[in-house]
Structure 1
Amino acid sequence: MLTRFFSQSKPIAFAILSILFAVAFVIENFVSTSVNLNAELIFSKLGILLVFLLVVFILNFIVKRNKIHSPHTFGVSSFTLIIIAFPELLRSSQFIVSYFFLLLAFRRILSLKTNTNIKQKIFDSGLLLSISIWFEPFHWLFLLVIYFGVIMYASQNYRHFIIPFVGLAVGFILHISYFLILEDKWINVSTYLPKFNGVDSFFDSFKYGVLLGYLILVLFWIIFQLPGIYNRAKLHESESLSVILFFMLVSIGILMTNGSPLAVDAIYLILPLSILIGNYFQLKSTKKWIKESLYVFFITGVLFSALY
């Protein structure tokens, strides 16, 4: 049933997913958590909800505009259901704003494949990444994704390898100016350094340890299906998939080295994994019962997280 419903890209599917996400967000931010309601809090939370919905929109835009997979909502629905299972992420205002700008930068890199306005797109990606770094310093590692995209789509001109630093420099100067003028202090360089806490730290929480274990199982399953996914993909699709896979590798690196709670950092794995799930679901070799079973697991994860 769910497989049939999400097998096409229809407005009703996005509307239902948006409502489902909004309900989960409201429950987590206003019902499950004790808060003193006031106009400022309500408007700030609604603003963050809008950013979350924009992240979902950008995810759908990325897969549709770059034709990463056929028109359907398998990827978006997987992302929405898995995200809801991580309630602390729904309360992470600063983090999701940072991730929003990171996705905008990632979108600009993928758009290089059109071979138009290359210099502008590379500059935009560097500038947007620098804004993301303001909120999450470890996002500077995604500069590797920008350069991977340049190598894939625009390596014919050596100047293209300089432009990302120009975009970063503009954002970095603005960031330093803010600290010096408004806070009268210098940025703390140590916040940009890796803080690997060991694999055991990912399983400090039983709930999120179980959810992470499930995501890892799904990830390994999808990795084994990559040959079939690539064989089906056209040239431009395979290039985009390669960029997404590299994006996921860098995401896993940040997940392991930034020392932040897994309950929030899980999005690093969830978003690229959702895109790959969408590609796997459209394979003719993927049985319907497998798709339905994965959706059952997603929903079970949401219920497990809500009840534990």
Structure 2
Amino acid sequence: MITSFFKKSKSINFIIVFLISLLAIVIGKLLRVEEGFSFGLLGKLLGTVLIVFASILLLNFIVNKNNLSQNDSLSIFLFSLFLLLFTQSTIYFNILISNFFVLLALRRLMSLRTRKNIKEKLFDAAFWIAVASLFYFWSILFFALVILSLVLFSDGNLRHWIVPFLGVLAVFVLSTATSIIIYNTYFGFITETYNISLDFSVYNSVSYLIAITLLFSFGAWSSFFYLNNIKKKKKAFRASFTTIIFAVIIAFLIILIVPNKNGSEFLFLFAPLAIVITNYLEIIKEKWFKELFLGILIVVPFVVLML
């Protein structure tokens, strides 16, 4: 019953998704601030709402435009549930912005399957990932998706391999020029350290352990079937599905190595994992198991909120 409700993209589905996301934002922003209400806080809240909603619409566009699911709204529904599961992911605006630019890059990479305007799309994808790294450095790892796309989509043209690096160079030049004007120094836009940390002690709480266990166990199980099902997809779309699973791997790597672990780093995992789990739900034949699988994903975020 639950899965059939999200079978088609209806207005009510988007309203539900936006309400769940709004709840995650409000809890993340308002219950974790020490200062009282102010117009500055209201402005931050509105900015967060806009960027989260824009990310949801962009994810929905990527999924439907590239036939990554059976034209339903289940992927964005799962994305909103993940936000509620990790409300910390809505706190840090720089990571929200970075994830939005990564989604923009993913959109351009997915469109490479048409074999049209390849150089423009490669440049745009690399450009957006480089911009994302200005807000959160470790998102630069998603540049590996550009290289992967060159292998999967490109025709071997040498110029296609040069274009992505020109996109990164363009961002570097523009950032340096802006830094000189604003900060009177070449690299004033660099505001964070690039250390690596494998200290996971911050996750040593009941709420974190439940959320992480749910995300990784359901994600790993779904990924196994997702990989086996890729070869059954139409040849024109196989590269797109392969790109998604590599996006999951890169997001997982970011979670492992980021120095400041606070829960917000899971945000990069939500969109590609939502697509993977949606595809798994679509191939489950036992209706009772499908409803149970999705039901757990719905109930657990609300349980975590009460801990």
TM-score, scaled to structure 1: 0.91
CA distance in structure 1 between the partners assigned to 2:227 and 2:50 by the alignment: 37
- Is residue 306 from structure 1 mapped to residue 282 from structure 2 by the alignment? no
RMSD of the alignment, in Å? 2.2
- Is residue 135 from structure 1 mapped to residue 135 from structure 2 by the alignment? yes
CA distance in structure 2 between the partners assigned to 1:124 and 1:140 by the alignment: 14
Contact 1:48 1:93 in 2 (8 A): yes
Shift in Å, 1:69: 1.7
- Is residue 49 from structure 1 mapped to residue 40 from structure 2 by the alignment? no
Write the letter of the residue equivalent to 2:288.
Answer: W
CA distance in structure 2 between the partners assigned to 1:239 and 1:33 by the alignment: 43
Shift in Å, 1:194: 4.8
Contact 2:23 2:84 in 1 (8 A): no
Shift in Å, 1:44: 2.9
Q: Which residue of 2 aligns with 1:287?
A: 286
5+ residue gaps, structure 1 = none
Q: Which residue of 1 aligns with 2:216?
A: 216
Contact 2:20 2:84 in 1 (8 A): no
Shift in Å, 1:34: 4.4
Contact 2:226 2:279 in 1 (8 A): no
Secondary structure of the structure 2 residue equivalent to 1:232: coil
CA distance in structure 2 between the partners assigned to 1:289 and 1:260 by the alignment: 40
Shift in Å, 1:31: 5.3
Write the letter of the residue equivalent to 1:24.
Answer: A
Q: Which residue of 1 aligns with 2:226?
A: 226
Question: For each residue in 1:262-284, what CA deviation from the matched residue of structure 2 results, as whole angstroms up to 9, or x when unmatched?
Answer: 5111123222111011111211x
Contact 2:146 2:164 in 1 (8 A): yes
Write the letter of the residue equivalent to 1:148.
Answer: L
Larger mean CA deviation between 153-162 and 262-271 belongs to 262-271
Contact 2:99 2:132 in 1 (8 A): yes
Shift in Å, 1:40: 3.3
Write the letter of the residue equivalent to 1:71.
Answer: N
Shift in Å, 1:32: 6.0
Secondary structure of the structure 2 residue equivalent to 1:266: helix
Q: Which residue of 2 aligns with 1:274?
A: 274
Larger mean CA deviation between 183-192 and 94-103 belongs to 183-192
Shift in Å, 1:261: 1.9
Q: Which residue of 2 aligns with 1:196?
A: 197
Question: For each residue in 1:120-179, what CA deviation from the matched residue of structure 2 results, as whole angstroms up to 9, or x when unmatched?
Answer: 111111111111111011122111111111211114311111111111111111222233
Write the letter of the residue equivalent to 1:303.
Answer: F
- Is residue 167 from structure 1 mapped to residue 167 from structure 2 by the alignment? yes
Structure 2 CA distance for partners of 1:306 and 1:130, relative to 1, 3 Å: same
Write the letter of the residue equivalent to 1:181.
Answer: I
CA distance in structure 1 between the partners assigned to 2:285 and 2:5 by the alignment: 16
CA distance in structure 2 between the partners assigned to 1:116 and 1:79 by the alignment: 30
Question: For each residue in 1:202-240, what CA deviation from the matched residue of structure 2 results, as whole angstroms up to 9, or x when unmatched?
Answer: 633331122111111112211331355224321122211
CA distance in structure 1 between the partners assigned to 2:34 and 2:296 by the alignment: 30
CA distance in structure 2 between the partners assigned to 1:164 and 1:103 by the alignment: 16
Shift in Å, 1:24: 3.3
Q: Work out the percentage of aligned pairs sharing the same amino acid.
A: 25
Contact 1:58 1:103 in 2 (8 A): yes
- Is residue 95 from structure 1 mapped to residue 100 from structure 2 by the alignment? no
User: Aligned runs of 1:1-308 on 2, under 5 Å?
Assistant: 1-30=1-30, 33-187=33-187, 191=192, 193-198=194-199, 200-201=200-201, 203-283=203-283, 285-308=284-307
Secondary structure of the structure 1 residue equivalent to 2:263: helix
Larger mean CA deviation between 101-110 and 218-227 belongs to 218-227
Shift in Å, 1:305: 2.2
Contact 1:138 1:192 in 2 (8 A): no
Structure 2 CA distance for partners of 1:202 and 1:209, relative to 1, 3 Å: farther
Contact 2:25 2:45 in 1 (8 A): no
Shift in Å, 1:46: 0.7
5+ residue gaps, structure 2 = none
Contact 2:230 2:242 in 1 (8 A): no
